[in-house]
A and B are shown apart, each in its own frame.
Chain A
Amino acid sequence: GAGVSQSPSNKVTEKGKDVELRCDPISGHTALYWYRQRLGQGLEFLIYFQGNSAPDKSGLPSDRFSAERTGESVSTLTIQRTQQEDSAVYLCASSLFAEQYFGPGTRLTVT
């Protein structure tokens, strides 16, 4: 079956512009996660959805970051007024229970 998909795979944007990253989870997976992975580093938790509610937004680094999810389907992560330090790979994962299935990521480069 289809896995987690993310789009775009690569995004280059100018500092100060807004970007929107998309995640399509595995059908039927109730939980959805966003992580950030800077070059050579581990995963930084951003936000977690259970259904379309977000019980844990503790990882969002600033109010420039927001995310939403429609039902138990697509999620979008929006970064406003991008900064160079936002450059990273943004990973999405979905889960039915505990173990997570990851998408290939979106590589964001802010110039």
Chain B
Amino acid sequence: AQSVTQLDSQVPVFEEAPVELRCNYSSSVSVYLFWYVQYPNQGLQLLLKYLSGSTLVKGINGFEAEFNKSQTSFHLRKPSVHISDTAEYFCAVTLITNAGKSTFGDGTTLTVKP
């Protein structure tokens, strides 16, 4: 079975600072990888995804993530954050052989301070 570990439960940063939210996964087979964002009192929305091809993927709102197969990681980065990026971020994996079931990490709360 696959598992996802988000290494930081809370990440406080100042506005315009860079940020990295870390995600490691465990799976015996190939996976698809996702980052979702949940703004306060809203549902989740897709931030970016890795299905195949280039290991550096770009998403909405200036976020990007890099798939590192040897490290089994999929860390999310943004060079300069805004107050509006304050949200909960979830990393998720889905088995390529069973695209029906995703496993989500416990989430990282990003708080951007002025």
A interface vs B, CB < 8 Å?
4, 31, 33, 35, 41-43, 45, 48, 50, 55-56, 91, 93, 95, 97-105
Supposing A42-B105, A42-B106 touch, asked if A97 and B43 sit within 8 A by C-beta, the answer is: no
Supposing A41-B106, A42-B106 touch, asked if A98 and B99 sit within 8 A by C-beta, the answer is: yes
Label chain B's interface by main secondary structure. strand
Q: B40 CB to closest chain A CB, in angstroms? A: 12
Q: A105 CB to closest chain B CB, in angstroms? A: 6
Task: Name A89's closest neighbour in chain B (CB-CB).
Answer: B43
Given contacts A31-B99, A56-B100, A101-B46, 11 further A-B contacts (CB under 8 A): A35-B104, A45-B101, A45-B103, A56-B101, A91-B44, A95-B99, A98-B34, A98-B51, A99-B46, A100-B34, A102-B44
